[in-house]
Structure 1
Amino acid sequence: MFENSIILLDWIGIVVFTITGALVASRNQMDVIGFILLGTVTGIGGGTIRDLILDAHPVLWLDRPQYLVVCVAVSIGVFFTAHLVTSRYRLILWLDALGLALFATAGAEKAASLGEAPIVAITMGVITACFGGIIRDVLGKEDSIIFSHEIYVTAAVVSAASYISFSALGLSRELAVGLALAAGFGLRAGALAFGWSLPRYKPRAPDT
């Protein structure tokens, strides 16, 4: 049951992030193979890096090749429907916010299930949530979303840390996941809607 819950979060996150990768391909007017490339690396990139670091065997898409099939199918679907979306960049941001919360929670949950320390589990959640988007932005020649002025990586930290904290408090798995998703997505949604951000570093003259 516990393993199935991780798989479900992976499934939803993969579909959502694949869509964002394919939409970036549409913004770059790529061919269908480009859509598949960007969609697939975005959908499974973060989870792949997580599993490699955790030495989890096998890596998620080697164990379930259907992940690749879905990435390809979703990417092709976006190739034929992306023109229906008026503001593709805005949609990318909101889908990315959902995928961020899903993958941060799933990554932390998987690491915790393997017996990793809480700080490691939180780190794996952040890696799972952020690295697929980083690869997408690099290949799509987009300004990386992690450098956006609004809160981004912090939202992934909040999702991952919330799941680990709620689990440690003895909450049920379903409630811990639900609260973690709500916390991460809510924070990122607020950042998108209201421009929330943390204080930023400002250059200043060195002390003399």
Structure 2
Amino acid sequence: MFENSIILLDWLGIVVFTITGALVASRNQMDVVGFILLGTVTGIGGGTIRDLLLDAHPVLWVERPQYLGVCILVSIAVFFTAHLAASRYRLILWLDALGLGLFATAGAEKAASLGEAPLVAITMGVISACFGGIIRDVLGKEDSIIFSREIYVTAAVAAASTFIGLDAMGVSRELSVGLALAAGFGLRAGALAFGWSLPRYKPRAPER
């Protein structure tokens, strides 16, 4: 059951992030190969970096080539349907918020299953959630979403920390996963809807 929950979260996160990557390709008016490239690296980028850092063999898409197949199919589907989204950028943000919660939880869960320390597991959740989007924004020549004024990385931390904390307290994995997803997506959704942000650094004159 535990292994299946990790796989399910990976599947959902990959599909959602692949869609965001393909939508960025549509904003840049790329051809279908560009859609596939951007969709695929977004869908599996964060999970790949996570698995490499965890020394997990094989890496998720090497173990399950179906992930690659789904990335390709989803990217092609978006190529033919992206025009249906009235505001692609807004859709990207909301889908990214969902993917953020999914991958932050999945990354933390996988690291915990491998016996990593809680802080390491939380970090792996953040890497899983954020690095696919970073790659997407760099390749798509978009302003990186991690530099947005609204809360972003903090939402990934919230999801990963919630799962690890509840798991350590002996809460069932199903409930831990559900609450972690709610924490990550809810915080990011609130940031998008209400402009939530943390206090930002402001330059000031040095003391004499």
Instruction: Tell me the CA shift for residue 168 of structure 1.
Output: 0.7
Q: Aligned residues: percent identity?
A: 87
Q: How many residues align?
A: 208
Instruction: Tell me the CA shift for residue 206 of structure 1.
Output: 1.1
TM-score by length of 1: 1.00
Q: Partners in 1 of 2:19 and 2:161 — Cα distance?
A: 26
Amino acid paired to 1:121: A
Q: Partners in 2 of 1:79 and 1:49 — Cα distance?
A: 26
Corresponding residue of 2:35 = 35
Instruction: Tell me the CA shift for residue 192 of structure 1.
Output: 0.2
1:11-160 to 2 correspondences below 5 Å = 11-160=11-160
Q: Partners in 1 of 2:114 and 2:157 — Cα distance?
A: 19
| Runs of 5+ unmatched residues, structure 2 | none
Instruction: Tell me the CA shift for residue 62 of structure 1.
Output: 0.2
Corresponding residue of 1:169 = 169
Corresponding residue of 2:6 = 6
Q: Partners in 1 of 2:58 and 2:100 — Cα distance?
A: 23
Q: Partners in 2 of 1:203 and 1:165 — Cα distance?
A: 36
RMSD: 0.3
Deviations 1:17-57 (A, max 9, x none): 00000000000000000000000000000000000000000
Q: Partners in 1 of 2:121 and 2:198 — Cα distance?
A: 23
TM-score by length of 2: 1.00
Deviations 1:97-122 (A, max 9, x none): 00000000000000000000000000
Instruction: Tell me the CA shift for residue 81 of structure 1.
Output: 0.2
